[in-house]
Amino acid sequence: MFILTTISDLIQISPQDFEKPSVQALKDNINKKYSNKVIQKIGLCICFFDLLKSSEGLIGHGTGIVNVNVEFRMVVFRPFKGEIIQGKIKHCNITGITIHLDFFSDIFIPAPVNLFEGVRFNNAENVWVWDTDSAELFFDVEEVVRFRVESEQWEDQSPQHPLRRDENEERNSPYRIVGSMSQAGLGPLLWWDDSAVEE
């Protein structure tokens, strides 16, 4: 689920950070620039891990800002295909189920294709229901679930020229995970825990 990625970049340290030790100032500025940001085809950056190399700082003309070339590693969220992850159901609609983790909420389970055979959408309660021989099992909002990662979708977030951009156009998430809950052991944990107790 988490990987270490090596990044090389120019990091700027402003004069108000000069009182900090150099490594701490670099760490703080790297976290400020990268944490909680998506890098295309790499993943969601979580936090700075370690510093591999850094150059001597060069002071910018007239600004007082120190420019440092650094090579460092970041902790990045990017699950692999087939990985089983645990999260919570954020909301349901006729197209599928959105799941969130504590730090990431762009996980989508398309329905009914990536759910169990025999599921249906309950319009009255806005939830998906799996009709089994013995009971109706609900995919309730805020229920803890396990899902399998099937694919990932990337959306380029490059700035657009104001004249070419539609003001009402909704921009997609830069990184989205598509999952499934169609195998035994997947779906709400409550279902499988209860069946284990009954046995």
CATH assignment of the domain containing 23: 3.30.1490.120
Domain identity same for 56 and 129: no
- For residues 71 and 92, membership in a common domain is answered with no
Strand-pairing partners, residue 187, are: 146
As a whole number of angstroms, the distance between CA 57 and CA 89 comes to 47
Q: Are 95 and 110 in contact (CB under 8 A)?
A: yes
pLDDT at 133 (0 to 100)? 84
Residue with tokens 């229901």: 129
Residues 149 and 172 both lie in one domain: yes
Residue 34: both structure tokens together: 């990268």
Same domain, 73 and 94: no
Domain CATH code at residue 115: 2.40.50.140
Together in a domain, 90 and 175: yes
Task: Please check whether residues 116 and 163 belong to one and the same domain.
Answer: yes
Reading the block at residue 101, the tokens are: 């983790």
Residue 38: per-residue pLDDT: 94
- Residue 5 one-letter amino acid: T
The Cβ of residue 179 has, within 10 Å, a number of other Cβ atoms equal to 27
- What pLDDT, on a 0 to 100 scale, did the predictor assign at position 61? 79
Q: Kindly state whether residues 168 and 109 are assigned to the same domain.
A: yes
Please tell me whether residues 141 and 188 are part of one structural domain. Answer: yes
Verify that 42 and 69 share a domain, yes or no: yes
User: What pLDDT, on the 0 to 100 scale, is given for residue 132?
Assistant: 85
Among 38, 53, 77, residue at a domain's last position: 77
pLDDT per 10-residue tile (average), the chain, 199 residues = 95 91 94 94 95 89 89 96 95 94 94 92 91 88 95 81 59 89 91 55
**In the beta sheet, which residues pair with residue 110?**
96
> 50 with 113, same domain?
no
Domain that holds residue 189: 84-198
| 93 and 19 within one domain | no
Which of 77, 101, 117 finishes a domain? 77
Q: How many domains is the chain built from?
A: 2
DSSP assignment of the chain: -EEEEEEEEEEEE-GGGTTS-HHHHHHHHHHHHHTT-EETTTEEEEEEEEEEEE---EEPTTT-PEEEEEEEEEEEE-PPTT-EEEEEEEEEETTEEEEE-SS---EEEETTTTB-TTEEEETTTTEEEEE-SS-EEEE-TT-EEEEEEEEEEE-------TTTS-TTPPPPPSEEEEEEB-STT-EEHHHHHHHHHH-
Domain check: are 89 and 185 in the same one? Answer: yes
Q: What does each C-alpha distance from 127 to 91, 113, 145 come to in angstroms?
A: 8, 15, 14
Last residue of a domain, one of 29, 46, 77: 77
